[in-house]
Structure 1
Amino acid sequence: MLHFTFANGALGADLQALDTVALVGIVVALLVGGMVKGVVSIGVPLVAMPILSHFLPIKDAVLLLSMPIILGNIPQALEGGELLPTVRRIALPLIGTVVGNIVGVSVLIALVPHRAQAAAGAFLMLAALLLLAAPRLTLTPRWAGPAGLVLGFGAALMESIASVPGPLLAMYLIATGATGKAFTKRIAIILVVSIVTLVATFSGGAHASWSDLVISACASIPVIAGMLLVRPLRDRLPPAAFRVVVLVFVVAAAAQMILKSGVLAGGHGA
């Protein structure tokens, strides 16, 4: 077993208790998540979360993935300027994500581990099915605001419990006509605000420490390495087909998470 010293952090303490095989498995999960993101840009958590759930409690996995998401989206949120005007345009989904994360973290902390795993699996499956179906909605200006508030709240719940806010946010932004750089900038801003709220809520409830955040930031290293590794292959692979294969894997992995939790059988899982 590898031994490290982590100061006063739930994530650090749980990592310290793991053996070498589990630690390597966590690094591999982050590396694979980065590789998939490098090819199809569907996001690291969607792929990494089912793998991480084999080694860590869901609460720890959500916290571990928080800083890679923040660090990965800050450059896109700042790109091209126009930050404040963009924030004003997406004010309601931003409010929804802040409230949703406060509620979602409270729910996640209150859930017993096997129920948290089942909830995360259900949200992962929903996220993958939404991306597979690729629903194309159209929202008129009249409905864009209320829908943004509701979908922002829902996305934050998915972020807090399974670390996958992207599908609902993508649905909303596409439905309001955001494309190209505008889409990328808006979803990046929402994600950064969402994860900062999540981390602040964890920290405010004494469920995360500075050492946990440093560990989470270090988790960005294998993610970035994975993205760089597949860069030469990115243009040679058929992204659409690869995307479907990945999402089918996520649905199967999410189903396995739900079965492993034992909630369907009325037990507490393994």
Structure 2
Amino acid sequence: MMDHSIWLVVAIFATFFAAGMVKGVTGMGLPTVAMGVLGVLISPLTAASLLIVPSFVTNVWQLLAGPNFARLGRRLFLLALAITAGTFGGSYLLAAGDTRVTTMALGAALVIYAGHALLARQLRVPPRLEPLLSPIIGLITGLLTGATGVFVVPAVPYLQALWLEKEELVQALGLSFTVSTGALAVALAWHGAFRIDNLALSTLAIVPALAGMWAGQIIRNRVGPATFRRCFLICLLVLGAEMVVKAAF
């Protein structure tokens, strides 16, 4: 059971506000920021259980606020299905508490991708390859989600390579993250990782997460497409580096 001291609760709420703001600006980052900061204070398994409710609520908000949920849902159905299956498989590592190697590998992949995208030409996935690539990308994303509690690689680079419009990309990320969060919640419950006290604190964390996301969305609405893409990739680079450093030390 987690010690709910006042300072720990304040730190948790401040973390979710900051994570929500990052998500509001870039459409992603809440679980990565939350896992990165809270992992210093509490166990990775407990941190993952705390992020379930605020992550799910903010992802649903992000998903439903986009321009065309039905069309994206049909296009990304295979991706979502494979993410669900992979998350259950990878969750055994998270439940065992041994996530150092997978977290480091995940962070390194983020750094390499973001660095390449910032310095080189943007990758593009032809529409004819989506039926083949979506299940593969979804399965790998699910395995890493289950093992680390972070829903980023390789789904985020893949979705960006589809060359969606800014708001469509944000909505597609919301769809991917909603599926990942739901699958992770069920997988953690299957492993008996949820406690009533953690679930209550996770529910309360919705407030700072939504407040941060609202503030971040105001910033995003004032940013042009080119600046948005650059900020998006820089965010990936920083988050990846943070994950590598955290896992190494």
More deviation in 58-67 or 79-88? 79-88
Q: Tell me: higher relative CO, structure 1 or 2? Use CA pairs within 8 A at least 6 residues apart.
A: 2
Write the mapping of 1:1-270 to structure 2, written as runs, cut at 5 A: 13-14=1-2, 17=3, 19-79=5-65, 83-110=69-96, 113=97, 115-134=98-117, 136-209=122-195, 211-228=197-214, 235=222, 246-247=235-236, 249-260=238-249
Structure 2: runs of 5+ lacking an equivalent:
none
Say if 1:168 and 1:215 are closer, same or farther in 2 by CA, change over 3 A.
same
Relative to structure 1, is the Cα distance of residues 42 and 207 closer, same or farther in structure 2, using a 3 angstrom cutoff? closer
Q: What corresponds to 1:8 in structure 2?
A: none
Residue-by-residue CA offset, 1:187-240 (whole Å, 9 max, x unaligned) = 32222122111111211232224554343222222222334556776659x767
Note the alpha carbon deviations across 1:8-48, whole angstroms, 9 max, x for none.
xxxxx22xx25444333322222222233344444222223
Q: Which has the larger radius of gyration?
A: 1
Equivalent pairs counted in the alignment come to: 243
Q: Tell me how far apart the structure 2 counterparts of residues 256 and 175 of structure 1 sit (CA, whole Å).
A: 27
Cα-Cα RMSD: 3.3
**Code of the aligned partner of 2:58:** G
With normalisation by structure 1, the TM-score equals: 0.73
AA matched with 2:246: M
TM value normalised by structure 2:
0.79
Identity %: 22
What do residues 61-100 of structure 1 show as CA deviations (whole Å, max 9, x unaligned)? 1221222221112133334686555433222111210111
Q: Distance in 2 between matches of 1:222 and 1:199?
A: 20
| Contact 1:29–1:51 (Cα < 8 Å) also in 2 | yes
C-alpha deviation, 1:147, in angstroms: 0.9
Task: Give the direction of change, closer, same or farther, for the CA distance of 1:106–1:86 in structure 2 (3 Å limit).
Answer: same
Q: Offset at 1:128?
A: 4.4
Q: Deviations over 1:147-188 (max 9, x none)?
A: 111111122223223333235223222333433443333332
- Structure 1 or 2: larger helix share? 2
Contact residue 111 and residue 241 of structure 2 kept, 8 A: no
Which piece of structure 1 moves more, 149-158 or 122-131? 122-131
* Cα distance in 1 between the residues matched to 2:234 and 2:74: 37
SS at match of 1:53: helix
User: Residue 267 of structure 1 corresponds to which residue in structure 2?
Assistant: none
Indicate conservation of the 8 Å contact 1:203/1:209, yes or no.
no
Report deviation, 1:54.
0.6
